Structure 1
Amino acid sequence: MSNLTAGATEGINLTCGMSGSHEFIFTLVPIVYGCNFVIGIVGNSMVVAVIYCYMKLKTVANVFVFNLAVSDLTFLITLPMWATFTATGYRWPFGGFLCKTSAGLATFNLYTSIFFLTALSIDRYLAIVHPVHSRRFRTVVYARITCVMIWLFAFGLSLPSALTRDVINIKDSKTTVCAILHPSAENAEMLKKLLLAISFLKSLLGFLVPFAIIITCYCLIGRTLLRAKHIQKTSHSREDEVLRMLAAAVLAFFLCWVPHQVFHFLQLLTQLNPGKHCAILEIIDTAMPFTICIAYFNSCVNPMVYGFVGRNFRKNLLRLLRCSPRGGARPHPSISSKMSALSFRASEVLNLTVKNSSTYDVK
């Protein structure tokens, strides 16, 4: 990989110029980054503090939500640098190390965030659809092992993104940018294949596969809850709150990531068909900062969807804001605990119905 970084700071000439360089981007995007930074830092810090101080890491879902919030915080600390980079007209003043680190953390957060959301979806599927059989697998120990595996796997996937980024001098505009390495004569083919692999994995493992798993889990969860609701003949119960939360989680995930993934896929197509695509690249490079803003907003939405929807989380948040002692009251169960209890009752109802039907058939 050392050959790829050789000569990274040498000046290069751009075939299409600085595409996507518009004044409104340099003004609007840094403002959005700043809002994402403030909202995300406050929201995720509250999630970490509430879970650690009051709700504890004693449930599987709490472990995943805690790690998800830490992942978002790790990424959010880089947003001021990206805001500065955009506000100064794509000029990177922070050096090569922070360029690689920030780019790597952005990709790292993409994978960790989506992997933790997927782990939460699988956990909720097991808790609601298979509450009895999944008990031995849904333990805090297994959850922590899963988190370690997610961190390591995401680090491995994001490492190439960090290594293929560096500070580059643009001769035409005399600008120093933090960008993907420009291929030279000796490493052009190798770098092209590596960049294509990174883009392909980002689309496949960073969105398509996790999204398919999440949708499948939530559809099966919804079907189970609706069946239980139909059997119990209840109109407004706890199932409705759970279904609304699951729908909000899927919708937030979809809306935040789809725009970026669409333009990322178009960018991948331009890489597969090398040549002068200046008009297409102009559209992609102009839209990409805004799709990144929307994708980064997912780090702000996560605390709202997975934390603030829960009534007990809000109670514990008020205790935190009032600086109530940890032992002052019994810790409230997380929303996932309520979901597990609910799913166990729903499963019992379904099982009893099946047994009764079988008994009648025998008679």
Structure 2
Amino acid sequence: MNKSTDVHNGTNCKDLQNPTVAREVLPVLYFFVFVGGLLLNALAAWIFCHIPSHSSFVVYLKNIVTTDLIMVMTVPFKILSDSHLGPWQLQAIVCRYTLVIFYNSMYLSIIFLGLISFDRYLKIVRPMRNLTVQKVTFAKFVSVGCWLFMIAFALPNVLLTNKTPTKDTATQCYRLKSELGKAWHHFIILKCHVIFWITFVLLIICYSAILKKLYWSDRNLQKESNYVKKRANRNIFSIMVVFVVCFVPYQIIRLPYDQGRKNKINCTTFSGLHYAKEASQLLCAFNVCLDPVIYFLLCKSFLKVLLRKNRKKPQNDFIQCEKQNSTNY
């Protein structure tokens, strides 16, 4: 096959990539994501320190803040690697470690968003049922299980990216994997796709059921009911828009990109897939800036803690948060 069109055998499809976009535009955009995500999630973490984990809802929210903070901390490595500001060995570190951590945290965040939607469904649509799954102990157990599950699948990605990097191969993560590592990588991509689409369907089902419940309840209190409906529409619409904008593009482009890297395709086509993947990955990272906005929509006591610096009555904030979330959705 002609060297200029072979993606794997001595290919240099990077020759067709615009260095300005790869080394200047994307790193600058990631820098803004890093600054915004760090400030907003540090603020959210500070607020959560004043709200005790007395409900499964709060437990899952705290887990999302944790995953977002971990994602944020991997962004500087990508900025330095993509802009070639650090030594070439840094690019190999990104391939083996920080990208794995980034994606692992991202899918954990997606899982916890799904658990929150299910938790709200049980509380609003089926109150006084399935009490065990809404207990704090159960939520903590599920959370630990999710972390262990994702870490167990992520570790082989680290261990099997074990080829000795060179200055030419350090930027091509796929070439640093062993044959078993490449097979495991494809398996992980499929697994993550299953996780995402199951969560996406779960969000649609749960939030649709919540809206239906709210629209058919409190018919005797029409004025209050209309207010609740408008607020529920706003909050659910915001959550779904953030989820779709940040995550769906990446899920759509990832499979054809992975197949293009696995098979021998024209470099022009692969470069197009590469840029689409990079842009969609940036949207995934941008989610760390949008999640804190969702927290404020779901629980106004977050804002009150921020404004009043109320360290004396976290229990009151918790109760108010729980009451608001019975109607906000």
Question: Aligned-pair distance for 1:333?
Answer: 3.2
Deviates more, 1:328-337 or 1:63-72: 328-337
Q: 1:46 aligns with which of 33, 39, 43?
A: 43
Distance 1:128 1:327 in 2: 30
Give the equivalent residue in structure 1 for 2:3: none
| Counterpart residue number, 2:67 | 71
Larger radius of gyration: 1
Change (3 A) 1:65 1:113: same
CA RMSD of aligned residues (A): 2.8
Give 5+ residue unaligned stretches, structure 2. Answer: 1-7
Q: Does 1:115 align with 2:111?
A: yes
Task: Decide whether aligned partners of structure 1 residues 306 and 329 sit closer, same or farther in structure 2, where only a CA change above 3 A counts.
Answer: closer
Residues 89, 209 of structure 1: alpha-carbon distance in 2 compared, 3 angstrom cutoff: farther
Q: Among residues 125, 130, 144, which one is paired with 2:121 in the alignment?
A: 125
Q: 1:21·1:286 contact (CA, 8 Å) conserved in 2?
A: no
Q: Take 1:129 and 1:257, find their aligned partners in 2: how far apart are those partners?
A: 27
Normalising by structure 2, we get a TM-score of: 0.86
- SS of 1:169 mapped into structure 2: coil
Task: Report the count of equivalent residues.
Answer: 319
Match 1:196 to one of 170, 186, 190: 186
Matched, 1:297 2:286: yes
Q: How does 1:138-217 map to 2 (within 5 A)?
A: 138-165=134-161, 168-169=165-166, 171=168, 176-177=170-171, 179-182=173-176, 188=179, 190-205=180-195, 207-217=196-206
Q: Which amino acid aligns with 2:312?
A: G
Give the distance between the partners of 1:329 and 1:58, measured in 2 at CA: 11
Correspondence 1:240 to 2:234 = no
CA positional deviation for 1:327:
1.4
Which region of structure 1 is more displaced relative to structure 2, 117-126 or 255-264?
255-264
Q: Secondary structure at the match of 1:333?
A: helix
Letter in 1 for 2:212: R
> Are the aligned partners of 1:310 and 1:334 in contact in 2 as well (CA < 8 Å)?
no
Report the residue type matching 2:271 in the other structure.
E
Deviation at 1:94, TM superposition (A): 2.6
**Higher helix content, 1 or 2:** 2
Letter in 1 for 2:49: Y
Partner SS state of residue 177, structure 1 = coil
**TM-score (ref. length: structure 1):** 0.79
Structure 1 distance, partners of 2:58, 2:313, is: 21
Q: CA contact under 8 A between 1:103 and 1:162: conserved in structure 2?
A: no
1:127 Cα offset (Å): 0.6
Deviation at 1:182, TM superposition (A): 4.8
Give the aligned partner of residue 13 of structure 2.
Answer: 17
State the Cα distance separating 1:340 from its structure 2 match.
Answer: 5.5
Look up the SS of the partner of 1:58 in the other structure: coil
Task: Name the CA shift for 1:329/1:24 in 2 (closer, same or farther; >3 Å).
Answer: closer
3-state SS of 2:226 partner: coil
Question: What is the deviation of 1:298?
Answer: 0.7
* Partner secondary structure for residue 75 of structure 1: helix
Counterpart selection for 2:295 from 292, 303, 306: 306
Q: What corresponds to 2:312 in structure 1?
A: 327
CA distance in 2, matches of 1:98, 1:270: 22
- Specify every segment of 5 or more residues in structure 1 that has no aligned partner in the other structure, as ranges: 1-11, 347-363
In structure 2, the CA distance between the partners of 1:138 and 1:193, relative to structure 1 (3 Å rule), is: same
